Amino acid sequence: MSHALDALFRPASVAIIGASSDPTRIGGRPVAFSKRAFRGAIVPINPKGGEIQGLPAYASIAAATTFPGVAAAIDHIADVQVRNRGTIGGSIAHADPGADFPAIALAFEGSAVLRGPGGERVVPLDGFFEGPFQTAIRPDEILVAVRRGPVPDGANFAYMKLPQPASGYAIVGVAAVIGTSNGTISHAAIGVTGLHEHPFRAEDVEKALIGSDGSDAAIEAAAAHVDDDVEPSSDIHADGERSVLRTA
C-alpha cells in the first residue's frame, strides 16, 4: 500500500507491479485485438462522476477511459484474451476475493446499479461485497451499470498489485485515488483486494491520510491501519499476518 500511495507523489502517477504487459503481444508475437465493438458507454452523470453502462469488456474500458492511470491498471488484469472477453460487470458480480477491478472501482467510490422486477436500486460498492463470491445482488436482479463517484479536480490514481504469477490475479492489490490541497491530502479513497474475504475500502487508512502531508512517514503510519476492520485471509501464499505486511 505504501508503494501505491508513494507513487502518487511522483510525476508519473501510474504504478503497477507485475510483468510488463503489452496488450498487443503475447510471447513477443503480435496478436489481433478483438474486433468487438465497444458495447457500453461511459456517460457523465454529474460534473465529476460517471456511469459505465452496458458493462463492457476490460479492453473497451481501457480504450475509452481518459482518467490517467486507469487504462494502464486494466492492462495488467489477466491477459489479452481475458481483457477482450471478460467484462467489468462480470468481475464485480463474481466478487472474487482477489479480483482487480473491484479494488479500482472502490477507489473511485463506485456504485452498482441493480435492476430487478421491482425496478432499479443503486448500491455503493462499499458494502456491496459481502463475502467470497457473495454480493448484495438479489437472486432476481442483474447488474446493469457501474457508477463512479465524484473525483476532485487534480486527483491522481494509482493501482499496485502483487500478481499471482500463473493467473495474474492479485495476491494483494491496492488502488488509490488521492487529492491534495495546499500541500496536504484532502481526498483519499482506497480499495484493497486479496487481503480479506472480499474487496473493501480501507477507511481507517483514508482517515489517517486525510490532513497529512503525504510524506513517507505519514503513508507508512496510515498503511498500518489497513487491517483495522477486516480479517486478513490465510491462503496458500501466506498466513493472514504476512498478508497484512505484504499489503502495507
Ligand X SMILES: Cc1cc2nc3c(=O)[nH]c(=O)nc-3n(C[C@H](O)[C@H](O)[C@H](O)COP(=O)(O)OP(=O)(O)OC[C@H]3O[C@@H](n4cnc5c(N)ncnc54)[C@H](O)[C@@H]3O)c2cc1C
100 lies in the binding site for ligand X (CB under 6 A): yes
What grid cell was written down for 191?
480499495
Task: Judge whether 199 and 129 are in contact, CB under 8 Å.
Answer: yes
Chain-centroid distance, C-alpha 212: 23
Site string for ligand X, 126-165 (x = CB under 6 A): -----------x----xx----------------------
Task: Judge whether 96 and 79 are in contact, CB under 8 Å.
Answer: no
DSSP 103: H
Site string for ligand X, 18-57 (x = CB under 6 A): -------------------------------------x--
Residue 46 or residue 81: which is nearer to ligand X going by CB?
Answer: 81
Min dist CB 76 to ligand X, Å, is: 8
> Burial letters for 172-211: b for 16+ Cβ neighbours within 10 Å, e otherwise?
bbbbbbbbbeeeebbbbbbbbbbbbbbbbbbebbbebbee
Residue selected from 68, 90, 116, 150 as contacting ligand X according to rule CB under 6 A = 90
Residue 83 or residue 187: which is nearer to ligand X going by CB?
Answer: 83
CA distance 237 to 84: 28
Residue 57 or residue 222: which is nearer to ligand X going by CB?
Answer: 57
Strand partners of residue 121: 114
Task: Judge whether 62 and 13 are in contact, CB under 8 Å.
Answer: no
Residue selected from 93, 209, 222, 248 as contacting ligand X according to rule CB under 6 A = 93
Residue selected from 87, 111, 180, 243 as contacting ligand X according to rule CB under 6 A = 87
77 lies in the binding site for ligand X (CB under 6 A): yes
- Return the ∠ at Cα 2 (arms to 130 and 173), rounded to 5°: 35
Min dist CB 62 to ligand X, Å, is: 13
Counting residues that bind ligand X (by CB under 6 A) gives 20
CA 214 to each of CA 62, 158, 176, 181, 224: distance values in angstroms, whole numbers, following the listed order: 28, 14, 13, 11, 14
Instruction: Candidates 3-11, 82-90, 121-129, 197-205: pick the segment binding ligand X (CB under 6 A).
Output: 82-90
What grid cell was written down for 91?
468481475
109 lies in the binding site for ligand X (CB under 6 A): no
Q: How many helices (H) and strands (E) does the chain have?
A: 9, 13
Residue selected from 168, 199, 214, 232 as contacting ligand X according to rule CB under 6 A = 168
Residue 45 or residue 142: which is nearer to ligand X going by CB?
Answer: 142
Min dist CB 31 to ligand X, Å, is: 15
Q: Which residues contribute to the site for ligand X (CB under 6 A)?
A: 55, 77-78, 82, 86-87, 89-91, 93-94, 99-101, 137, 142-143, 167-169
